[in-house]
Amino acid sequence: MRDALLADGPPAIWLVADGPPTIWEWIARNWDTGRGGSIKNLLGDHLVMSLVPIVAGLALALPLGLASVRWRWLYQPTAGLFNVIYALPSLPVFMLLISVTGLSKTTVIIPLTFYAIAVLIPAVVDGLGSVPDHVRQSAVAMGFTPLRRLLRVELPIATPVVLAGLRVVAVSSISLVSVGAVIGEGGLGMLFTRAYQNPFLPPVIVGIVLIVALALVADALLVLAQRLLTPWVRARRAS
Amino acid sequence: MITFDSVTKRYPDGTVAVDHLSLEAPTGEVTVFVGPSGCGKTTSLRMINRMIDATEGEILLDGRPVREIDPPTLRRGIGYVIQQAGLFPHKKIVDNIATVPHLLGWDRGKARARAMELLERVGLDPAMGERYPFQLSGGQQQRVGVARALAADPPVLLMDEPFSAVDPIVRTSLQDELLRLQAELNKTIVFVTHDIDEAIKLGDRVAVLRVGGRLAQLADPKTLLSEPADDFVREFLGRDRGIRRLQFVSTEGLRLRTDLTVPEGYEGGRSEPWLLVVTKDGRPLGWIAGDGRGGPEPYGTFRPGQDSMRAALDAALLSPSGCAVAVDEEGKVAGVATREALDAALAEAADA
Amino acid sequence: MNWLTGFFGDPANWSGPGGIPARLLEHVEFSALALVLAMLLAVPLGLLIGHTGRGALLVVVSANLSRALPTLGLLVMFVLLLGTASIWPVIIPLVLLAVPPILVNTYEGVRGVDPELRDAAYGMGLRGGQVLGRVLVPVALPLILLGLRLSAIQVVATTTVAAYTGLGGLGRFVIDGFATKDYASVVGGSVLIVLFALVVQIGFTLVQRTTVSPGVSQRVRSR
């Protein structure tokens, strides 16, 4: 293994005098090199490229979902279209976008945003569908205007379902960003391509662990948000 | 005959669902288990076809312990009807009904023919056989549930609150339908309900169970209403026990007067306070005052010998005259039961 | 557009081991192999867990983990660990990623069957296996097929990415083209993969229409 590594000529930063570094040594050496490819910088890139699609996806899916509920006929075509988009593999979509947006983070962010919308539209529609009819009726009867009814009654009740969709979106966006490494914009995914080009396992392990950890943290934050936003859901379960 | 011999069901956590239950459900009769929730009525029923196994005691089916019979084999010989019908959504109605015949290895044609016959038997259009369950109303689905239970002509039928999920009007018609079917088929039926009125209407024998799974009383409906065993049964039977008991008192011996009818166009002259105007073909039109003034007033009818005293009394209370109109099968007036006649019959019923 | 005509118009792209037909066939082979293996693992397991209710935690954990695991990282890890002597170092992660969607949906499908239905089935004297095969599977079929469809989407996409680690298939056009700045190949290959993914989607929709009972999909109109 050691000979093979040397023969393949790995870059200097991965070499130490007496053999390949342990995973901890490797992390210490590469955490913050002051250059673009340090783990710290890649982590930052990764956060940006996964957070933007999550937030933008929600921002776009909410009005689209609301419109689909308001005008029922809109739902089938909208959901159908995004279903098709969702089925498109990310890599070729990145590739096709290069001719429009070039080799940039945007090329990764745009498709991920579309995937997010595809998951979130049904979540918004189902969430609003989970509002019991008698609740809606009594809100109308109490004299809520449609907008107030939406903001004060319907959206809060829809929150758990929407957040469940958002959890799926968050976790899959964070892991999907890494595919972008193939076109040179993959955040922590860059560790995978680098490790493959200079066969060396520790970066792969570090990349996988960090990405899974990021996903778990995002998921936990959303669970926490759900508890804070919808205290009644827990109260009902406890009783 | 189904025999419960000191049957107990105790769950691992210590709860006792059924406590030393001993009773018999005679062949060809409807035995109803009734009681509040938690009284173990459904558990008792489900122990018969071994959906649940008893902890202690023995359930015998025509003398043979069900414990000794392989559950699927046992169940194929027992019809089972449940609350939401439980029809298979992926199968057409005809195939739903033919489920057990298929399991028993009947040939396809015979099973289908049997299913079609049963559809008609339970009062459904045979064309419905080609539909799927979701295309039927709740009441129709429940009828299919009954047909499916009858498919292999099992001698025993277990019915677990089969009519409690449909609206009252449909429920009444399903109950009447069941009574009609039972008159033809004479199955041994065990029926579970929480509705005491349903129990009294359908049961040849009613077993009232109390919470904790103990038998409070086992009696025919009339005895139950007139002689409840204790306060629990009395309370469970609810109000109007006296009135409800009248539905088991026959109108056979009720004295009828035939001299209180007048033809259409009557203009007064008789000394009776109320007279019944009858059309040319003998049907009742309404009550009119003896002096012939005022329009025909409302009336109520009953069929003597067939309807109960409760129906006769109800008919009497519907008209200003206080008399009930007796009609025959074709709806023609057979006579009038006056207050005096009803009074005498009620007095007799109270003595009985 | 020029890239497209350049790619599809080049006769060299239509023959030989590196041509479109050969690459397409490879893509179908790898995807189908992974999907079938995943199906053989996940469908029985999902049925079992859904039917018995035991092992539900495994389903939830695998679902969450599979979404979080980066496909490229998994592929590279297996290749670095096992080498590239055979296709298995690549097929194994493909299968691993394809299992959870089928497992979750099969489990949810079986678990979601109305308990009354199960009760009625047992009550009429069906045996355990008959209840599963004649009632639970047909009623849960829409969800089982959804799981297979989601899994197929996943497999087609991951097979494409796997070209990065040297696997054949349509991904080769994209990866090799990108490396050699042959953009006609990149665009052409991407279009091919997108079309292939759409065909797979349509295929599953057709399977769903033909195998799910109209009584379950409620696709029949009341007369």
Cβ of A196 within 8 Å of Cβ of C73? The answer is no
For residues A191-211, give the mean pLDDT. Answer: 91
Measure the CA–CA gap between B170 and B234, rounded to whole angstroms.
28
By CA distance, what is A170's nearest residue in C? Answer: C68
Q: Which residues of C42-54 are buried (b: 16+ CB within 10 A; e: fewer)?
A: bbebbbbbbbeee
Residue B86 has its nearest CB partner, among C120, C125, C216, at C120
Which value does ipTM take for this structure?
0.85
Is C2 exposed, middle or buried, given 0-12, 13-18 or 19+ CB atoms closer than 10 A?
exposed
Question: What are the chain A neighbours of C199 within 8 Å (beta carbons)?
Answer: none
Chain C interface includes B72 (CB < 8 A): yes
Domains of chain C, earliest start first:
17-217 (1.10.3720.10)
DSSP B205: E
Residue C215 has its nearest CB partner, among B91, B100, B158, at B91
Chain B interface includes C86 (CB < 8 A): no
**Whole-number Cα distances in Å, A126 to A130, A157, A159:** 6, 11, 10
Please determine, for residue A21, whether its predicted confidence score (pLDDT) is greater than 90: no
- For residue A81, give the 3-state DSSP assignment: helix
Residue C68 has its nearest CB partner, among A86, A92, A215, at A215
Residue C123 has its nearest CB partner, among B73, B82, B135, at B82
Interface subset of C 94-113, CB within 8 angstroms of B: none
Quick one: pLDDT at residue C10?
Answer: 82
CATH topology of domain B261-351: CBS-domain (3.10.580)
Chain C: partners with 3+ C-beta pairs within 8 Å? A, B
Residue A150's CB: how many other CB atoms inside 10 A?
18
Quick one: pLDDT at residue C9?
Answer: 79
Chain C interface includes A91 (CB < 8 A): yes
Question: Nearest to residue B253, comparing CAs of B172, B156, B348?
Answer: B348
Question: What are the chain B neighbours of C141 within 8 Å (beta carbons)?
Answer: 90
Cβ of C65 within 8 Å of Cβ of A212? The answer is yes
Question: Nearest to residue C170, comparing CAs of C147, C193, C152?
Answer: C193
Give the CATH number of domain B2-248; options: 3.40.50.300, 3.60.21.10, 3.30.360.10, 3.20.20.140.
3.40.50.300
Question: Nearest to residue B103, comparing CAs of C50, C123, C119?
Answer: C123
Residue B97's CB: how many other CB atoms inside 10 A?
29
By CA distance, what is B87's nearest residue in C? Answer: C117
Q: CA angle, corner B204, sides to B202 and B209, nearest 5? A: 85
Task: Calculate what percentage of chain C has a pLDDT beyond 90.
Answer: 54
Residue found under tokens 């809606």? A136
Q: What is the pTM of this model?
A: 0.80
Cβ of A91 within 8 Å of Cβ of C156? The answer is no
Chain C interface includes A212 (CB < 8 A): yes
Listed in sequence order, the DSSP H helices in chain B are 41-48, 71-76, 93-97, 99-103, 108-121, 138-150, 168-185, 196-202, 221-226, 231-237, 241-245, 309-317, 339-351
Cβ of C174 within 8 Å of Cβ of A92? The answer is yes
Please determine, for residue C14, whether its predicted confidence score (pLDDT) is greater than 80: yes
Label residue C193 by pLDDT band (50, 70, 90).
very high
Chain C interface includes B11 (CB < 8 A): no
DSSP bridge partners of B276: B261, B287
Start and end residues for every CATH 3.40.50.300 domain found in chain B: 2-248
Three-class SS string for chain C?
CHHHHHHHHCHHHHCCCCCHHHHHHHHHHHHHHHHHHHHHHHHHHHHHHHHHCCCHHHHHHHHHHHHHCCHHHHHHHHHHHHCCCCCHHHHHHHHHHHHHHHHHHHHHHHHCCCHHHHHHHHHCCCCHHHHHHHHHHHHHHHHHHHHHHHHHHHHHHHHHHHHHHCCCCCHHHHHHHHHCCCHHHHHHHHHHHHHHHHHHHHHHHHHHHHHCCHHHHCCCCCC
Cβ of C120 within 8 Å of Cβ of B51? The answer is no
Q: Which residues of A54-87 are buried (b: 16+ CB within 10 A; e: fewer)?
A: bebbbebbbebbbebbeeeeebeebbeebeeebb
Q: Please give the helix or strand (H or E) that residue A214 lies within, else none.
A: helix A201-229
Whether B20 contacts B8, CB under 8 Å: yes
Measure the CA–CA gap between B218 and B199, rounded to whole angstroms.
12
Measure the CA–CA gap between A10 and A195, rounded to whole angstroms.
10
Q: Of B202 and A35, which is predicted with more confidence?
A: B202
Quick one: pLDDT at residue A35?
Answer: 74
Residue A58's contacts (CB-CB under 8 Å, 6 or more residues apart) are: A116, A120, A166, A169
For residues A142-150, give the mean pLDDT. Answer: 86
Quick one: pLDDT at residue A8?
Answer: 40
Start and end residues for every CATH 3.10.580.10 domain found in chain B: 261-351
Chain C interface includes B323 (CB < 8 A): no
**Whole-number Cα distances in Å, A211 to A48, A55, A174, C61:** 13, 18, 7, 16
Whether C125 contacts A58, CB under 8 Å: no
Domain coordinates of chain A in residue numbers?
31-238
Interface subset of A 105-144, CB within 8 angstroms of C: none
Quick one: pLDDT at residue A4?
Answer: 35
DSSP A21: P
Question: Nearest to residue B87, comparing CAs of B20, B22, B41, B134?
Answer: B134
Q: Which residues of B208-241 are buried (b: 16+ CB within 10 A; e: fewer)?
A: bbbeebbbbbbbebebbbeebeeebbeebbeeee
State yes or no: chains B and A have 3 or more CB pairs below 8 A.
no
Whether B81 contacts B156, CB under 8 Å: no
Residue found under tokens 């292939």? C196
The parts of chain B modelled with pLDDT lower than 50 are none
- Structure token digits, residue A163: 């957040």
B334 phi/psi in degrees, rounded to 5 = -105, -15
Q: Which is the CATH superfamily of the domain at A31-238? A: MetI-like (1.10.3720.10)
Instruction: Suggest the residue from A85, A95, A175, A222 to mutate for an interface test with chain C (most C CBs closer than 10 A).
Output: A95
Question: What are the chain C neighbours of B88 within 8 Å (beta carbons)?
Answer: 117, 120-121, 135, 138-139, 215
Q: CA angle, corner A162, sides to A159 and A165, nearest 5? A: 150
Residue B306's CB: how many other CB atoms inside 10 A?
12
Residue A7's CB: how many other CB atoms inside 10 A?
8
C-alpha torsion A35→A40→A43→A48, nearest 10: -70
Residue found under tokens 């590196």? C18
Q: How far is B155 from chain C (nearest CA, A)?
A: 14
Question: What are the chain C neighbours of A198 within 8 Å (beta carbons)?
Answer: none
Measure the CA–CA gap between C123 and B103, rounded to whole angstroms.
13
DSSP A104: S
- For residue B78, give the 3-state DSSP assignment: strand
Residue C156 has its nearest CB partner, among A89, A95, A98, at A89
Q: How far is C60 from chain B (nearest CA, A)?
A: 28
Mean pLDDT of chain C: 89
Q: How far is C201 from chain A (nearest CA, A)?
A: 7
Residue C61's contacts (CB-CB under 8 Å, 6 or more residues apart) are: none
Question: What are the chain A neighbours of C186 within 8 Å (beta carbons)?
Answer: 95, 98
Residue A84 has its nearest CB partner, among C175, C186, C201, at C201
Q: CA angle, corner B330, sides to B325 and B332, nearest 5? A: 40
Residue found under tokens 């945003």? A113
Q: Of A163 and A37, which is predicted with more confidence?
A: A163
Measure the CA–CA gap between B39 and B196, rounded to whole angstroms.
14
Q: How far is B136 from chain C (nearest CA, A)?
A: 9
Cβ of B88 within 8 Å of Cβ of C220? The answer is no
Q: How far is B46 from chain C (nearest CA, A)?
A: 9
Residue C72 has its nearest CB partner, among A95, A98, A189, at A189
Quick one: pLDDT at residue C220?
Answer: 64
Measure the CA–CA gap between B323 and B284, rounded to whole angstroms.
13
By CA distance, what is C114's nearest residue in B? Answer: B86
Q: Please give the helix or strand (H or E) that residue B327 lies within, else none.
A: strand B324-327
By CA distance, what is C136's nearest residue in B? Answer: B88
Label residue A141 by pLDDT band (50, 70, 90).
confident
Cβ of B76 within 8 Å of Cβ of C125? The answer is yes
The model's pLDDT over C113-154, given as tens digits with 9 standing for 90+, comes to 988 899 999 999 999 889 999 999 999 999 999 999 999 998
For residues A80-93, give the mean pLDDT. Answer: 90
DSSP of B100-157, one letter per residue?
HHHHTT--HHHHHHHHHHHHHHTT--GGGGGS-GGGS-HHHHHHHHHHHHHTT--SEE
Chain B interface includes C114 (CB < 8 A): yes
**Whole-number Cα distances in Å, B307 to B189, B314, B318, B331, C47:** 24, 11, 16, 13, 56
Provide the edge-to-edge strand list for the sheet that holds B214-219: B78-81, B156-160, B188-193, B30-34, B205-210, B214-219
Please determine, for residue C203, whether its predicted confidence score (pLDDT) is greater than 90: yes
DSSP bridge partners of B262: B277
Is C11 exposed, middle or buried, given 0-12, 13-18 or 19+ CB atoms closer than 10 A?
exposed
Cα atoms in the 13 Å half-sphere on the side-chain side of A134: 0
C85 phi/psi in degrees, rounded to 5 = -65, -35
Whether B188 contacts B2, CB under 8 Å: yes
* Number of continuous H segments (helices) and E segments (strands) in chain A: 12, 0
> Beta strand pairing status for B284-289 and B274-278?
antiparallel
Chain B interface includes C125 (CB < 8 A): yes
Residue A141's CB: how many other CB atoms inside 10 A?
8
Quick one: pLDDT at residue A16?
Answer: 46
Measure the CA–CA gap between C32 and C27, rounded to whole angstroms.
8
